[in-house]
Chain A
Amino acid sequence: MPQFGFSISQPRAVNLDTNDTVPAERILQEVPELQCCIACGSCTATCTAGNLTSFNFRRMHTLVRRGEYREVYEQLEKCMLCGKCRLVCPRGINTRAVALKIKKTLCDY
């Protein structure tokens, strides 16, 4: 079939009516303090991986909480679990555990 260079864009909107929040709930049960994230971006600012690649940890765990997992698992491959993010979090979130749980939970996703 000839290709004319056209494609159909997938909808970009996050749809909270249809998204599956079960994996997110599982992660939040293990690290409930993630719920009090104020999105300050300290974790991303200090992140070694984030300084060298497009990895944005703040955005990744927010996506997870909205039930969006598509790009997250792949992105989290960049995390080296160094734990610097945990040192700087003003809300006392164990961000390293968050990264670990996301990796573990989304493994079978």
Chain B
Amino acid sequence: MENKDKRVIVVGGGVAGMQTALLLRERGAEPIIVEREERLGGKLAGWHKLFPTFTPAGEVLEPLRGRVAEAGIEVRTGRTVEEVTPTGVVLNGGERLDGAATVVCSGFEVFNARIKEEYGYGIYDNVFTTVDIERMMNEGRVRTAQGNEPRRIAFLHCVGSRDEKVGAHHCSKVCCITGVKQAIEMKELFPTAEVYNFYMDIRMFGPGYEELYRKAQLDYRINFIRGRISEASQTIDGWVQIKAEDTLIGRPLRMSVDMLVLIVGMKGGASNGAFARSGGLTVAPNGFMQPRDAFFGNVASERDGIFYAGAVTAPKNIGECLNEGAAAAERVAAYLKL
């Protein structure tokens, strides 16, 4: 078997991409990772700690980066993929990379909170997203726009998820637990602050998640209010006034907070359309790529030679992305008869 028959193009160098490439290399393939950012890591590079264990994101990211470097896997950073086919990809600028198979691990996009204008992200000073909070935590300084320690924080679940108005019927699945995790982190940073989580449903799908939710209620005294915030406005002193219905008592509710955090959901990747056109693939109605089937074909596309791993096909957590990387590597190895 010649070297080029073992070459596999991995589109995206996040968790799923790195895991796929590492396991393909172990099986004797020649993976090459194409990453649009300057460094490997994907979205994980911007996160601080991981639910539900509060594991520092670096403890997952750094070993992956280290092992990719150690294994001598070829990496092209700062390059985007314009077209995918079973026999290679076309990069921006027109360069073609040939391979015997392609694994699309291009992940997801974070919902742009500005679209939900009624919450005032980008308009009012003290409206943030969960991504901003992760960044502030990484910088080691969480403060309101006025530079104060927050005293009253509201989290709003399902921003960009389960919302017909932004064309998203799907549940982004990991945001509930992210909201609970960040609420706890806030309470640890600012023990005297009041924390409120406004939710429509609390969906705790993973091991240890429901337990963490219970802990947030019992040990951290975080207030969970069932009701979606309908609008936010800025008060004269720079606080944010929010309105919601407390649906459990059936009455409207209002309060002001010095920090409103929008728990933003996951969207299908912006390049999915181009991948579908060039590769003969399908973008599912939820904007994510459509895998071959939901049971035995999770990491396969509808076309032989193109595979998927990670959040490109649906919202997933880090552990699931790592598992899919392994599953995709196995599937590719079988396809290449390695």
Contact = CB atoms under 8 A, between A and B. Distances in A.
B248 A39 contact: yes
Q: Could you say which interface size class chain A belongs to?
A: 20 to 34
Interface string A32-49: 110110110000000000
Contacts of B140: none
Given A39-B226, A63-B249, A15 B217 contact: no
B71 interface: no
Contacts of A101: none
B252 A14 contact: yes
Nearest to B247: A39
Nearest to B217: A36
A17 B252 contact: no
A28 B220 CA distance: 13
Interface in A4-26: 12-17
A14 B254 contact: yes
Interface in A64-104: 65-66, 68, 91
A62 B248 CA distance: 7
A17 B256 contact: yes
Contacts of B253: 13-16, 66
B217 A35 contact: yes
A66 to B, nearest CB: 6
B205 to A, nearest CB: 15
Given A15-B255, A17-B256, A39-B226, A59 B249 contact: yes
Contacts of B243: 13
B250 interface: yes
A17 B254 contact: yes
Interface string B169-206: 00000000000000000000000000010000010000
Contacts of B255: 15-17
B292 interface: no
Contacts of B254: 13-17
Given A12-B251, A17-B256, A62 B218 contact: no
A95 to B, nearest CB: 15
Given A32-B218, A36-B217, A39-B226, A13 B256 contact: no
A65 B252 CA distance: 15
**B contact patch SS:** strand
B138 to A, nearest CB: 30
Contacts of B248: 39, 58-59, 62
Contacts of A62: 246, 248-249
B116 interface: no
A17 to B, nearest CB: 5
A14 B218 contact: no
B214 A36 contact: yes
A66 B245 CA distance: 12
Contact of B246 (A32, A35, A66): A66
B221 interface: yes
Contacts of A36: 214, 217-218
A38 B204 CA distance: 13
Contacts of A12: 251-252
Contacts of B249: 14, 59, 62-63, 66, 68
A3 B26 CA distance: 88
Interface string B241-283: 0010010111111111000000000000000000000000000
Interface string B217-239: 11001010010000000000000
Interface of A: 12-17, 28, 32-33, 35-36, 38-39, 58-59, 62-63, 65-66, 68, 91
5 closest Cβ contacts across the A-B interface? A16-B255, A36-B217, A13-B252, A14-B253, A35-B217
Given A14-B253, A32-B218, A91-B214, 6 more contacts: A12-B252, A13-B252, A14-B246, A36-B214, A62-B248, A63-B249
12 contacts: A13-B252, A13-B253, A14-B253, A14-B254, A15-B253, A16-B254, A16-B255, A36-B217, A58-B248, A63-B249, A66-B253, A91-B214
